[in-house]
Amino acid sequence: MTTAAPIRMTIVYYSTYGTNYQMAEVAAEAAREAGAEVRLVKARETAPPEVVNGQEAWKAQLERTAHIPDATVADLENVDAILFSTPTRFGGAASQIRAYVDTLGGLWGSGALADKTFSAMTSAQNPNGGQETTLQTLYVMAMHWGAILVPPGYTDKVIFASGGNPYGASVTANGEPLSDEDKATIRHQARRQVELTRRLKG
């Protein structure tokens, strides 16, 4: 009897103050519990040092996560599943995430991003701060790759408990730890992606 190869998953996040880092950590834990091999990486900071150092909370978050490797092109090459987590910036992904995506042209051009599952999560300071458009534009990006979209939809009642966003976990970032409802939504989304990826992989 042969054992099925594990699902290989990369979670790419960017986090200015810590919310999306928390989200990525919860997703990584849930995906590992579902049997995936998970690599957690962060989009490289692109803001000038004088800007980062001028805001204590931003600087502290960068220092807290110094142990997390910066995302590279190779991190998306030999994987089965990709999950992005990013703050919302004016209705779209943070510029650090977009800068990382801009490095993926060669990988996309070779077809290496096709047929991987893709899901996304986000946060904003208020529920109507562009969270849905951020997730939708990330899914449009993944369509260009030929990736297989795995939004959570309304596949579990926990989605309603945390705001009811069918596109992906979306958190109101207020400087507080994630709520139990937010964590449950994130866990469901990550587990669902691993499970569907396993089915697709056969």
Sorted by sequence, the CB contacts under 8 Å of residue 62 that are 6+ apart come out as: 45, 52
**Residue 2 pLDDT class (50, 70, 90 cuts):** very low
Q: How many domains does the chain have?
A: 1
Q: How far is residue 181's CA from residue 185's CA, in Å, rounded to a whole number?
A: 6
Q: Strand, coil or helix: what is 3?
A: coil
- Residues contacting 158, CB < 8 A, separation 6+: 181, 184, 185, 188
Q: Kindly report whether the global pTM for this prediction surpasses the value 0.85.
A: yes
**CATH number of the domain where residue 19 is located:** 3.40.50.360
Confidence of residue 162 (pLDDT cuts 50, 70, 90): confident
- 182 in a structural domain: yes
Q: Does residue 3 fall inside a structural domain?
A: no
Report the alpha-carbon distance of residue 149 to residue 108 in Å, rounded: 16
Inside any domain, residue 122: yes
Residues 71-87 have pLDDT tens digits of: 999 999 999 999 999 99
